[in-house]
Chain A
Amino acid sequence: MHNFLALVKVNLKNTFSMTDGKQKKSALNRFLPVFILIALLPSIASMYFLTQDLIGILTPIQQTGIVVALLLMGVSVTVFFFAIFLVPSVYYFSKDVETLLALPLQPWVIVASKFVVTVIYEYFTLFFFALPVLAAYIVKVQPPVAFYPILLVVLVLLPVVPLIFASILIMLIMWLVPFAKNRDFFNYLSTFFALGLALGINFLAGSAATVSQDVLIDLLMRGNNSLTSVFNLFIPNIRFAVEALVKISLVDTLIYVGIVILASVAFVALAQIVYFRGAIGVNETSANRKRLKGKAYSKSTVSGNVILTYTLKELKLLFRTPIYLMNCVLSAVLIPGIMIASFSMQLGDTSELQQIIDSIPWGTPQLSLYILAGGAAFGWVITSLNLITPTAISREGQNAYFMKYIPMSYFAQMSAKVLSGMAISLLGIVCFILPVAWFIKLPLNLTIIAFAASVLTSVFMNYLGMIVDILHPKLVWEQEASAVKQNLNAVFTMVPAAGLSFGIFFLIGKLPTEGWVSLLIFLILIGSDFLLVYLTKRVAEKAMPRMLG
Chain B
Amino acid sequence: MIQIENVTKVYSGKVKAVDNISLTVQDGEIIGFIGPNGAGKTTTIKMMTGILSPDTGRVLLNGIDIVQQPIEAKRQFGLVTDNPDVFLRLKGIEYLNFMADIYDVSEADRRERIQRLAETFEMAAALNDKILSYSHGMRQKIVVMGVLVHSPNIWILDEPLTGLDPQSAFALKEMMRAHANEGKTVFFSTHVLEVAEKLCSKVAIINKGKIFYFGTLEDLKKDYVDMSLEEIFLEVTRNA
Binding site for B on A (CB under 8 A): 22-24, 284-292, 296-298, 300-306, 309-310, 313, 316-317, 320-321, 398-399, 401-402, 404-409, 545-546, 548-549
Contact = CB atoms under 8 A, between A and B. Distances in A.
Contacts of A309: 97-98, 101-102
B109 to A, nearest CB: 10
Contact of B71 (A24, A300, A402, A407): A407
Interface stretch (B18-26, B27-35, B46-54, B160-168): B46-54
B81 interface: yes
Contact of A298 (B85, B86, B90, B111): B111
Given A287-B129, A297-B111, A407 B83 contact: no
Given A306-B104, A401-B46, A407-B71, 13 more contacts: A284-B88, A287-B130, A289-B126, A289-B129, A296-B128, A301-B110, A303-B100, A303-B107, A304-B101, A309-B102, A313-B94, A399-B86, A404-B49
A546 B100 CA distance: 27
B225 interface: no
B136 interface: no
A322 to B, nearest CB: 10
7 contacts: A23-B12, A284-B133, A292-B127, A297-B93, A300-B97, A317-B87, A405-B51
Contact of A285 (B114, B125, B130): B130
A292 B51 contact: no
Given A286-B133, A300-B93, A399-B86, A405 B128 contact: no
B105 interface: yes
- Would you call the interface of chain A mostly helix, strand, loop, or mixed? loop
B239 interface: no
A291 B124 contact: yes
B220 interface: no
Contact of B83 (A304, A310, A399): A399
Nearest to A303: B107
Given A284-B132, A316-B90, A404-B50, A291 B125 contact: yes
A453 B12 CA distance: 46
Interface in B73-103: 74-75, 79, 81, 83, 85-90, 93-94, 96-98, 100-103
B85 to A, nearest CB: 7
A301 to B, nearest CB: 5
B228 interface: no
B128 A288 contact: yes
B90 A317 contact: yes
A549 B88 CA distance: 24
Contacts of A398: 83
A405 B79 contact: yes
B106 interface: yes
B83 A408 contact: no
Contacts of A321: 89
